[in-house]
Amino acid sequence: MSSKPPIDRGELTRRLERYAYDARERGDQDLNRDMAPYRPFRSAAVLVPFVDRPEGLTILFTQRTAHLASHAGQISFPGGGREPQDADGIETALRETHEEIGITPDRVTVIGRLDTYITRTGFIVEPYAGLLRPPLGLTPDPKEVAEVFEVPLTFILDDANPVIDSVKVAGAQRQFYAFPYYDRYIWGATAGMLVNLREVLLTPC
């Protein structure tokens, strides 16, 4: 594991509150310059949920059910497309989190956000960081969520863990970030957002 000192709740909050999240847009094209996102774009938002455990901060992830039409079986943050009734991206992220895993908005303390992420499939995603305190009282929607699990923040920040992998798509080799965690494989847009998080928390300030 990394020898870096652990990031606690206070440092996490300080870093994210100060981060200039609109400095750049990120996306699947970062590692694949010739693969432009599909248009038209659709607005979306996700919650990057930090759980304040006595043994240290963790990040909560969901694994999508295998029967979904898009991104079936993938590991992601709770979130989804923005609806007309949503006032902003924060409301989208909190509404989707409630619908997917049962955590109500009043249980989440939003402390900042990461860079906008543009997916190959045409979503412009706003990632919002939120703090959760146990007990979480999870009630996952079985139609969308196969499992909910947590990964220690120290694992995400360890330099040994992020990798760049590749897969052939329509005859072309596509690269993507990934975080293999035991028998789980966090990749794609979720991993790209985690790379952004690493920069926010590990860059000297």
Q: Is residue 174 part of a domain?
A: no
| Residue 134, C-beta contacts closer than 8 angstroms, at least 6 positions apart | 51, 52, 53
Question: Which SS3 state, helix, strand or coil, does residue 188 take?
Answer: helix
Number of compact structural domains in the chain = 1
CATH at residue 91: 3.90.79.10
Specify the pLDDT at position 67.
Answer: 60
19 to 14, 22, 42, 122, 157: CA distances (angstroms): 9, 9, 25, 25, 17
Least Cα distance to 118 among 130, 127, 128 occurs for 127
Element (H, E) at 49: strand 42-53
Residue range(s) defining the domain that contains residue 26: 9-153
**pLDDT-flagged residues of the chain (< 70):** 1-5, 22-23, 36-37, 66-73, 170
Specify the pLDDT at position 31.
Answer: 86
Q: Is residue 159 part of a domain?
A: no
Least Cα distance to 117 among 77, 61, 144, 156 occurs for 77
Q: Is residue 135 part of a domain?
A: yes
- Token pair for residue 108? 């989440």
Q: How many CB atoms are closer than 10 A to CB 14?
A: 15
Instruction: State the amino acid at position 160 in one-letter form.
Output: A
Q: How many CA atoms lie within 13 A of 137 on its CB side?
A: 10
Q: Is residue 192 part of a domain?
A: no
Q: Is residue 205 part of a domain?
A: no
Specify the pLDDT at position 129.
Answer: 98
